[in-house]
Amino acid sequence: MQSKRKNFSRFTPKEAFKQLKIKDLTKLKIDFKPVEPSQFFQTRLQRLENFDLSISKKAKELLIDALCEKVIQQHSHLKIWKEAPLQSDKLTGFFDYLVAEKRAYLDAPLLCVVEAKKDFEV
């Protein structure tokens, strides 16, 4: 008998930790050098000023899309998947944004997940 898959969004933090077989989160310190925004990115942000980015999730995604467009240019080996479905034998769900190795299909290893939350502040 096949077990029922649980949706990612239905996990409690405790269940997620157990599923991932971890006891605690590791705080990462990332050394980076700030990058000046390109003229294209600055123009894109100026155009977005004409949108109300405070009300809907879809409107907030415009800002996230602009940021993803800028960042992905520097990483040609990666691809951004939008509204990506993921599932395993025990888990299933959709992610708003997911970054993984560039190929024609989505597969592990995954780099990160970015979500546009309802409580996102602009």
User: What does the alpha-carbon distance between residue 53 and residue 3 come to, in Å, rounded to a whole number?
Assistant: 41
13 occurs within a structural domain: no
Say which amino acid occupies 61.
Answer: E
69 occurs within a structural domain: yes
- What is the tens place of the pLDDT at every residue in 42-89? 998 899 888 888 878 888 888 889 888 888 888 899 999 888 888 777
Residue 106: domain span: 37-122
21 occurs within a structural domain: no
70 occurs within a structural domain: yes
- What is the tens place of the pLDDT at every residue in 98-112? 888 899 988 776 766
8 occurs within a structural domain: no
Instruction: Tell me the CB-side half-sphere exposure of residue 98, using CA atoms within 13 A.
Output: 18
45 occurs within a structural domain: yes
26 occurs within a structural domain: no
Contact residues for 116 (Cβ-Cβ < 8 A; gap 6+): 57, 60, 61, 64, 96, 97
Count how many domains the chain has: 1
Instruction: Specify the pTM.
Output: 0.66
117 occurs within a structural domain: yes
